[in-house]
Structure 1
Amino acid sequence: MKWNWKLPDWPDFRYDMTELAPLEQRFLLSSGEILGAVHHVSPSERDQLRIDLLSDEAMKTSAIEGEMLDRLSVQSSLRRQLGLTPDSYPAKPREQGVAEMMVDVYSTYSEPLTHETLFRWHGMLLSHDRQLETIGAYRRHADAMQIVSGRIDRPTVHFEAPPSGQIPAEMGRFMEWFNRTTPGSAGPLPALTRAGLSHLYFESAHPFEDGNGRLGRALAEKSLAQNLGQPSLIALAFTIERERRAYYDQLEQHQKTLDVTAWLVWFAEVVLTAQQVTLDRVGFFISKAHFYDQHRDKFNDRQAKAIERMFREGPDGFTGGLSAENYLSITRTSRATATRDLQDLVDKGALNRTGERRYTRYWLNVGNNRKSI
């Protein structure tokens, strides 16, 4: 099999800029919309918005690799890393590591990329893993670095990366390319083009024993932030996780060729979708603040707990709406009390109600945005 790194003109990727130009323009316009929306969040609330967005990204970049994290532990770790007042929830090693990496990507976005940057991220991400031979350095094993699936005795090889002995030289060339294509450097590239190329280029080198996917997505975030001149907070991993199968299919297809226009168009459209997700989440956060301003001190402890739980589900929320059974599970109260509490919340305008009897569902009343939360 001729993998892309075996082709004679590697790593000279080819692509049609005319197909990407309108997507690049949409990216810049949407970036302005996000910046404008964030300005509507009060300074005291921006820290929580940052925690919410970063924790979503930390959770989803791990979920893409099949790793499920404890959200509260991730958020607790993020608060500590950002120097905010910590809560009492314990920070677990795996969650602490990904939170530490996310904050480092966020806070050092403008710095040039170095080998030490990647080693630092890798160490943060995988310091808890006692099975890896090499942590905080490029892989050294002599075995072929392959991405496989299927039976052990008849595996399907989706990709084979360069041998470990080639990695220092490959990554030196990657560093030079990444830093040369930043805004204001010798060969700057548009935001989406550069982020898409950086991710595919890094994944094709696959320089670490484990964690390459998460680090590659962090690099795409760093690239976008450098082109914007500020941390992006774009829901990239959140959106890729929803398109996980297509994501792996696209990577596999374009690790066999240097003609990557289709990959860059696909990746650009994912980023544009991710921007809209971020806009929706900022709008949801603003609606949440207005909701609590309107209903402050109007709920009993049970109602407050249920409302907080509903908001914690985020814009996608409870599938199909909140049921009386959900309320009973959250509050551990009696059915009669749950019925009175829910009716009271409807009367106060905090919830909307749809359906009848066992099909009755409740929705947070947050302006025109009635989501199934």
Structure 2
Amino acid sequence: MKSNLFENFEAVRNQGLEPHSFTFYTSVSVMFSSKIEGEVMDVDSYVKHKILNIEYLPNLTEKPNDLYEAYLFAKENKLTKENFLLAHKLIAAHLLPAKQQGVLRTAEMLIMEHNTGRIQFEAAMANTVKVEFNKLWKDIADLIKQNLDMEEVFYYASMIHLVFVNIHPFNDGNGRIARLLEKWFLVEKLGEKAWYIQSEKYYYNHVDKYYRNLSKVGMFYNELDYSKALPFLLMLPDCLNVDFPGLGDV
């Protein structure tokens, strides 16, 4: 296993890719991200749905397809706050009523542990969501303009993911779009091949660790300690060690 971050990403860059590769790998990413949120369709079936046009019941494919459309939108558009809100509208098409799609929440938000139902953390207070969200986006816009080395790109991509999850600015779809946001930032800084990083697959395969590391910074938004964020921040570089899947072994 390579230990050098640059070499590991170069292996992704040098991966032989076919014209249909974006469809395949995005289908894999979308379904693993969806399964983190409890979607029941298996990844192999969803890939066949997208690649081979095999039909399944709408309740199995609607929300993953919405997320897929958001990935396509991100591929064709720059990472800006306005485009991000449009991406959430796509993701939330079958999650939220139209008036809540791409719109910041106005109610308080408690996040439950994925396997116990216990309270995991309290997100940003409703009356601070807009301020915290705009602060994050100012930071993202500034980072996009800066020249960052490879380690800094991965560090900030993970930190953006973590801070966004803690704000939890939408009524639903926060986890799905947080993982898209992380990858979208990587693409902005590293180029199109960053779409093929298997981050969603890695997070799903280590989902207990993923949630445990998210929670290490604290339970209450106003008391978060980001000095304890390192275990989560190290997960993204580890995604580079995930083998590229083929159809039938996802």
| Deviation of the 1:209 alpha carbon | 0.5
- Residues 13, 193 of structure 2: 8 Å contact kept: no
Residues 247-272 of structure 1: CA deviation (Å, up to 9, x unaligned):
00000112431204523553244333
The AA in structure 2 aligned to 1:170 is E
Within 2, Cα distance between the matches of 1:196 and 1:158? 19
Aligned to 1:247: 210
Within 2, Cα distance between the matches of 1:71 and 1:163? 35
Aligned to 1:60: 32
Aligned to 1:136: 102
Structure with greater contact order relative to length (CA < 8 Å, sep ≥ 6): 2
Query: Given the two structures, how large is their TM-score scaled by the length of structure 2?
Result: 0.81
Aligned to 2:80: 113
- Residues 145, 163 of structure 1: 8 Å contact kept: yes
Aligned to 1:313: 248
Within 1, Cα distance between the matches of 2:141 and 2:50? 28
Distance 1:55 1:88, change over 3 A: closer
The AA in structure 1 aligned to 2:216 is Q
More helix by share: 2
Residue among 68, 71, 77 paired with 1:99: 68
Residues 164-200 of structure 1: CA deviation (Å, up to 9, x unaligned):
2211111111111011112xx2474622111111111
Residues 212-252 of structure 1: CA deviation (Å, up to 9, x unaligned):
11111111101211221224111111110010001000001
- Residues 58, 98 of structure 1: 8 Å contact kept: yes
Residues 296-322 of structure 1: CA deviation (Å, up to 9, x unaligned):
xxxxxxxxxxxxxxxx4226xxxxxxx
Aligned to 1:48: 20
Aligned to 1:147: 111
Q: Where in structure 2 are the equivalents of 1:304-343 lying within 5 Å?
A: 312-314=247-249
- Residues 78, 99 of structure 1: 8 Å contact kept: no
- Residues 145, 161 of structure 1: 8 Å contact kept: yes
Within 2, Cα distance between the matches of 1:112 and 1:265? 21
**Runs (4+) off by over 6 Å:** none
Aligned to 1:169: 131
Task: Give the aligned length.
Answer: 237
The gaps in structure 1 that reach 5 residues or longer are 1-22, 80-85, 286-311, 316-373
- Residues 180, 188 of structure 1: 8 Å contact kept: no
Identity of aligned residues (%): 18
Query: Given the two structures, how large is their TM-score scaled by the length of structure 1?
Result: 0.56
Distance 1:138 1:187, change over 3 A: farther
The gaps in structure 2 that reach 5 residues or longer are 219-223
- Residues 149, 157 of structure 1: 8 Å contact kept: yes
Within 2, Cα distance between the matches of 1:252 and 1:261? 9
Larger radius of gyration: 1
| Deviation of the 1:72 alpha carbon | 7.7
The AA in structure 2 aligned to 1:238 is K
> SS of the residue aligned with 2:227?
coil
Q: Where in structure 2 are the equivalents of 1:1-373 lying within 5 Å?
A: 26-38=4-16, 41=17, 46-69=18-41, 74-75=46-47, 87=53, 89=55, 92-108=61-77, 111-114=78-81, 116-129=82-95, 134-141=100-107, 144-149=108-113, 156-182=118-144, 185-186=145-146, 188=148, 190-232=152-194, 233-255=196-218, 256-260=224-228, 262-263=230-231, 265-273=233-241, 276-278=242-244, 281=245, 285=246, 312-314=247-249
- Residues 123, 135 of structure 1: 8 Å contact kept: yes
